[in-house]
Amino acid sequence: MRPRGGVQWTLFGLFLVALVPVVGERYYVDLTTQILIYALFALSLNILVGYCGNLSFGHAAFFAIGGYACVILTTTYEVTLIISLGLSVLISAVAAAAIGYVCVRLAAMHFAMLTLAFSMLVWSIAIKWTPVTGGDDGFVGATLPDLISNPVSFFYFALLIFSTGLILLRVICTSTFGRAMIAIRENETRATFMGMDVRKIRLQAFTIAGAFAGLAGALLGLYNRGMYPESAFWTESGQVLIMVLLGGMHSFIGPVLGAAALYILETMINQYTEYWQIVLGVILLGVVLIAPDGLAGLLSGFRKRKDDSVTGVDSE
Partner 1 sequence: MSLLEVDNLHVAYGKSQALFGVSVEVSRGELISLVGRNGVGKSTTMRGIMGLNVPNRGVVRWKGEDISGRDPHLNCRDGIGYIPEDRRIFSDLSVWENLDVARNYNATSTADSNIAKRWNEESVFTLFPELADLRNRKGGVLSGGQQQMLTIARSLMGNPELLLLDEPSEGLAPLVVSRMREGIEQLKEAGLSIVLAEQNLGFVLALSDRVYVLEKGQVKYSGSAEDLKNNIDIQKQYLTV
Q: Return the residues of window 21-40 that contact partner 1 according to CB under 8 A.
A: none
Residue 153 within binding range of partner 1, rule CB under 8 A: no
Which residue in 133, 152, 121 sits closest to 73, CA to CA? 133
Q: By CB under 8 A, which span of 4-12, 70-78, 145-153, 195-203 interacts with partner 1?
A: 195-203
Question: Considering CB under 8 A, how many residues would be counted as binding partner 1?
Answer: 20
Q: Return the residues of window 91-130 that contact partner 1 according to CB under 8 A.
A: none
Provide the minimum distance between the beta carbon of 1 and partner 1 in the complex, in angstroms, as a whole number.
7
Residue 316 within binding range of partner 1, rule CB under 8 A: yes
| Closest CB to partner 1 among residues 186, 308 | 186
Q: Measured between alpha carbons, how far is 99 from 122 in angstroms, rounded to an integer?
A: 11
Residue 198 within binding range of partner 1, rule CB under 8 A: yes
Q: Return the residues of window 173-192 that contact partner 1 according to CB under 8 A.
A: 176, 179-180, 182-183, 185-187, 189-190, 192
| Closest CB to partner 1 among residues 25, 186 | 186
| Closest CB to partner 1 among residues 189, 309 | 189
Q: CB 41: neighbour CB atoms within 10 A?
A: 32
Residue 196 within binding range of partner 1, rule CB under 8 A: yes
Provide the minimum distance between the beta carbon of 40 and partner 1 in the complex, in angstroms, as a whole number.
24
Q: Return the residues of window 213-272 that contact partner 1 according to CB under 8 A.
A: 250
Provide the minimum distance between the beta carbon of 177 and partner 1 in the complex, in angstroms, as a whole number.
9
Residue 311 within binding range of partner 1, rule CB under 8 A: no
Provide the minimum distance between the beta carbon of 4 and partner 1 in the complex, in angstroms, as a whole number.
11
Provide the minimum distance between the beta carbon of 203 and partner 1 in the complex, in angstroms, as a whole number.
14
Q: Which residues bind partner 1 (CB under 8 A)?
A: 1, 176, 179-180, 182-183, 185-187, 189-190, 192-198, 250, 316
